[in-house]
A and B are shown apart, each in its own frame.
Chain A
Amino acid sequence: MTAPLEAAEPAAAQAAGPAGDDRPARHGVLRYALTKAGGALLSIAMVIIATFFLFRLLPGDPVRNLAQGRNMTPEQLDLERRRLGLDKPLTDQFFDFVGQTLRLDLGTSYEYKRPVLDLIGERLGPTLLLAGVGLFIAVSLGLWQGTRAGWRPGSRFDRFSTATSLVLWSVPTFWLGLLLLMVFGAWLKIFPSRGIESVDAPDGFGYVLDVAWHMVLPCLTLVGVVYAQYLLVMRSSLLDEVGQDYINTARAKGMRDDEVRRRHAVPNALLPTVTLVFMRIGFVVGGAVTVETVFSWPGLGKLFYDAISVPDFTLMQGTFMLITVAVIVMNTLADVVYHILDPRVRSA
């Protein structure tokens, strides 16, 4: 009788702040977190090694590709190879790379001839802005619609929102972006066709508005394509809760429908969604290659994509490592947070 209620209440209590009587549990969390962190470090080490060899498998000679379409003598190509250290044996290159990486030096990009860390630094801001805002809107929209839809499955709202999100989910990102560009850019002429800001952007508050104006279409595309996953996960996990005894109990207590949903059903249904959201936060760093390309957004995704065609080994290694490390860290965090949120995981 009381067991289901406990499952709901502690989750909320834990999120707000640990209660006084769960010292052993906190200890457990710490140990759990440390184990997870160790695992994460191991994964990162493996990523560093894999990154190097994986990218060396790509076809193409960076020196020749960079020279393409230009007058380069064989002597000069040779010189370039020496300059980039590509003339050394692969094992030497590998140890150089590991040494550099441990010193947090990501090397110099072949194509841009600038430190990879600088290149990443310049593009991290726009990427976090676009992907972060996009993720926030997608999660809010998905959770809101998923909750409504899951609470009354089969209703007109459920059918409408689930169908819409699924259609958008199945649409290729590139195509949706271009469609929005054509309607709002070429036809209605109310949104810009590219970039993060106007060439003659005003200062101060005007600049903020200018960036917001440029962000509308890329954000819309990003949200349109991904929000379905939050909606569906939220909807199905809420569906699981709807038939549970503790919901009936809550209703029997005379709680309003809204309250039952908000205070009992949703906190429990949120658990799988939290994992999903944390995993996606990791990917935010990677940006959205397609959206960034369609809207010429100066972000990391585009940088990585461009690097592949050269192949610009140092730049690829740098961006790839950043993205994977972010994902690993966020996954680890998700594990830990889940552990805190859900007592069932903790006791297991």
Chain B
Amino acid sequence: MRKWFARLAVMGVALLVVGQGQVALAQDPAAGKKIVRVGATQAVDSMNPFLAVRLVSTSIHRWMYGFLTVPDHKTLKPSPDLAESWSSSDDGLTWTFKIRTAKWSDGQPITAEDAAWTFNKIMTDDAAKTANGPAVENFESVTANGQDLVIKLKNPQASILENPIPIMPKHVWEKVTNIADFSGDQYPAVTSGPYIAVEHKKDQYVKLKANPDYWRGAPKIDELQVVFYENPAASIIGLKNGEIDLIGRLNPPEYESLKGDPNIVQWNQQGRRAAYLQINHGATTTDDKEVGDGHPALKDQKVRQALHHAIDKDRLVAEVQNGLAKPAHGSIVPPMYTDFFWEATGDTKVSYDPAKANQILDDAGYKKGPDGVRTMPDGDRKLEFRFSIHTDTPIEDKLAEYLTGFFKEIGVTLTTKKLDSSKFTEETGVTGLFDIAISGWSVNPDPEEVLATHLCSRRPTPSGEGGGTESFYCDETFEKLYQEQLKELDRPKRAELIKQMQERLYTDAPVIAIYYTNDLEGYRKDRIKSITSVPEQDGILYGASSFWPFYSLEAVESSAESEEGGSSAATLIAILVGGAVALGVGGYFLLRRRKSVADDRE
């Protein structure tokens, strides 16, 4: 037995030596540089901005490329980026953007030609539409004249100032013959933003260097690295042992596991996501034919209203989200977007009140049976609803438990139905095979996109192809308001219309917002000196629709412990080789001894 301990001890020491040696070894090339490593729990899908759709990719592209306009980091209002100023014709159909005088990272001047080429590429090449097709859908033509970019629209569109398309360098990208097959992996990339991508190891990391000639001024760090994790738990460990310096988009348990580490700042601010229940209020296809198997009771607005009254959102926040969210008394736009956020007040507000919920259902004729479960007024079908959630999401399991309890109070039975994500998307977005489903949306500074997911045209086609609806909603009032806000160029007036749309969703209740989850992140304060969120007060670091946090951050210089550089590496290699030899020799003698003992025994 002693031999076993000895062997284990030797193994342990060897592991320690190997481990420690490599830690120091890996730090060498970074010595004296200011490097920030950001963890991401997904890998880049493409470095070609015409194709990339994952958040990690679009975030990286926001750090690399300029846009016509960007949300202001303080107010989130559209503010100048590559377009230093703009004007529109009286009918709102012709927009002229003046492109600022600046240079691409390869020294070529940035002109309106670059922007015109980018937009025209997307308008004329189907493959280039993959990432941002809808953003040019309303463009009639785009032309360049020196530094002036003229965009002619088919219809007025207020959200043109929130255009999400990065402007690409024409002189580099026009050489790409087939955009669909181009991965964008050409380094160093030619960029106009604060960073230049210099390396991409598939499924591993992307390395970005500061752009010294960035027109706003070079970033205050030398290098930004984005390191991919397939396993969120491992990314937390990576943050704790210093392999990465920042990780965003945490869920409550991950966030709480960072507690107590003196080097880690826990970032808990308001987020951009609204979580809501999607109610099958009578799903239809674009030709208004019914689809799916939703419970008939849910077609009744009163039933939906009663369900809303029965939900104790404060308790959900406290017990399901561990307090790391805000109860939703509005609709699908979270309070972070102060300009567009709408909150119910007075009589409109549906507060937690099971008695009132019971009253509404009693009055509407949904009588309770002997088992305490209500039935339809005109028959004996019970109010038994299915609640569709995703598999492998413990938080949704917990939510289901609470909702089941809440609805039991008003004589409604809720059973949970777990689906894997593709089946879930299919049943709740195309085939309509659900009663109530969990859903949510991360909203952009301009909420047009999320509002559009409740338009009639987004319902599935008669042939069963999904159009991206989040509710199967089709409401005349809502459609009219949507069209009006498109045309309204006056921001406060447009915000008013958008608020009315939210009020409509709130009272008609095809969706019921339950909470706005907080933005949970963590970063190492021994590595990141300062970082500013977007918006500046109470905002987001990673995943915000802005380059600002990672442009303005300040970092601590890499530790000087590896200043000796090469010599320390050599020593380490010597130690490692020595260790390996010692291990081999030791093992040999141990085996020899065993052998002789075994032979003696015979």
Q: Which residues of A contact B (CB under 8 A)?
A: 58-61, 63-81, 83, 108, 111-115, 122-123, 178, 181-182, 184-186, 188-202, 205-206, 209-210, 212-213, 216, 256-258, 292-298, 302, 309-311
Q: Does B423 reach chain A (CB closer than 8 Å)?
A: yes
Q: B468 contacts A83, CB within 8 Å?
A: no
In the assembled complex, the Cα of A258 lies from the Cα of B598 at a distance in Å of: 8
Q: B234 contacts A181, CB within 8 Å?
A: yes
Q: B46 contacts A60, CB within 8 Å?
A: no
Q: B234 contacts A185, CB within 8 Å?
A: yes
In the assembled complex, the Cα of A62 lies from the Cα of B595 at a distance in Å of: 61
Q: Does B88 reach chain A (CB closer than 8 Å)?
A: no
For B576, what are the chain A residues with a Cβ–Cβ distance below 8 Å?
Answer: 209
13 contacts between A and B (CB under 8 A): A68-B425, A73-B457, A76-B129, A114-B46, A178-B233, A186-B241, A188-B16, A194-B230, A194-B243, A202-B569, A209-B573, A212-B18, A298-B203
Binds A, one of B26-34, B337-345, B346-354, B404-412: B26-34
Q: B18 contacts A64, CB within 8 Å?
A: no
Chain A's closest residue to B431 (CB) is A59
For B129, what are the chain A residues with a Cβ–Cβ distance below 8 Å?
Answer: 76, 79
Closest 9 CB pairs of A and B: A190-B19, A60-B422, A298-B203, A213-B22, A193-B238, A59-B423, A198-B26, A64-B466, A74-B467
In the assembled complex, the Cα of A302 lies from the Cα of B43 at a distance in Å of: 11
Question: Least Cβ distance of B316 to chain A in Å?
Answer: 23
Chain A's closest residue to B183 (CB) is A114
In the assembled complex, the Cα of A193 lies from the Cα of B37 at a distance in Å of: 14
Q: B237 contacts A257, CB within 8 Å?
A: no
In the assembled complex, the Cα of A59 lies from the Cα of B48 at a distance in Å of: 29
Question: Least Cβ distance of A73 to chain B in Å?
Answer: 5
In the assembled complex, the Cα of A185 lies from the Cα of B442 at a distance in Å of: 32
Chain B interface size, as a band, is 35 or more
For B466, what are the chain A residues with a Cβ–Cβ distance below 8 Å?
Answer: 61, 63-64, 77
Given contacts A112-B45, A200-B30, A213-B22, contact A77 B468 (CB under 8 A): yes
Q: A216 contacts B205, CB within 8 Å?
A: no
Chain A's closest residue to B203 (CB) is A298
For A59, what are the chain B residues with a Cβ–Cβ distance below 8 Å?
Answer: 420, 422-423, 426
Which of B180, B201, B233, B242 contacts A113 (CB under 8 A)? B180
Q: Which residues of B contact A (CB under 8 A)?
A: 15-16, 18-23, 25-30, 35, 37, 45-46, 48, 51, 53, 126-127, 129-130, 133-135, 137, 180-181, 183, 201-205, 207, 225, 227-231, 233-238, 240-243, 286, 420-423, 425-426, 429-430, 441-442, 449, 452, 457-458, 461, 465-468, 569, 573, 576, 595, 598-599, 601-602
Question: Least Cβ distance of A175 to chain B in Å?
Answer: 11
Q: B134 contacts A113, CB within 8 Å?
A: no
Q: B228 contacts A296, CB within 8 Å?
A: yes
Given contacts A73-B137, A257-B598, contact A58 B230 (CB under 8 A): no
Given contacts A111-B45, A113-B181, A257-B599, contact A205 B430 (CB under 8 A): no
Question: Least Cβ distance of A111 to chain B in Å?
Answer: 6
In the assembled complex, the Cα of A58 lies from the Cα of B181 at a distance in Å of: 26
Given contacts A76-B134, A83-B127, contact A61 B19 (CB under 8 A): no
For B238, what are the chain A residues with a Cβ–Cβ distance below 8 Å?
Answer: 185, 192-194
In the assembled complex, the Cα of A192 lies from the Cα of B22 at a distance in Å of: 9
Q: B230 contacts A70, CB within 8 Å?
A: no
Question: Least Cβ distance of B599 to chain A in Å?
Answer: 6
Residue of B21, B235, B241, B602 with most partner-chain A CB within 10 A: B241
Which of A108, A184, A199, A302 contacts B205 (CB under 8 A)? A199
Which of B202, B225, B467 contacts A199 (CB under 8 A)? B225
For B51, what are the chain A residues with a Cβ–Cβ distance below 8 Å?
Answer: 113
For A76, what are the chain B residues with a Cβ–Cβ distance below 8 Å?
Answer: 129, 133-134, 137
For A71, what are the chain B residues with a Cβ–Cβ distance below 8 Å?
Answer: 134-135, 449, 452, 468
For A199, what are the chain B residues with a Cβ–Cβ distance below 8 Å?
Answer: 37, 204-205, 207, 225, 227
Which of B21, B241, B465 contacts A189 (CB under 8 A)? B241
Residue of A72, A83, A210 with most partner-chain B CB within 10 A: A72
Q: B204 contacts A72, CB within 8 Å?
A: no
For A111, what are the chain B residues with a Cβ–Cβ distance below 8 Å?
Answer: 45
For A108, what are the chain B residues with a Cβ–Cβ distance below 8 Å?
Answer: 180-181
Q: B205 contacts A213, CB within 8 Å?
A: no
Question: Least Cβ distance of B79 to chain A in Å?
Answer: 22
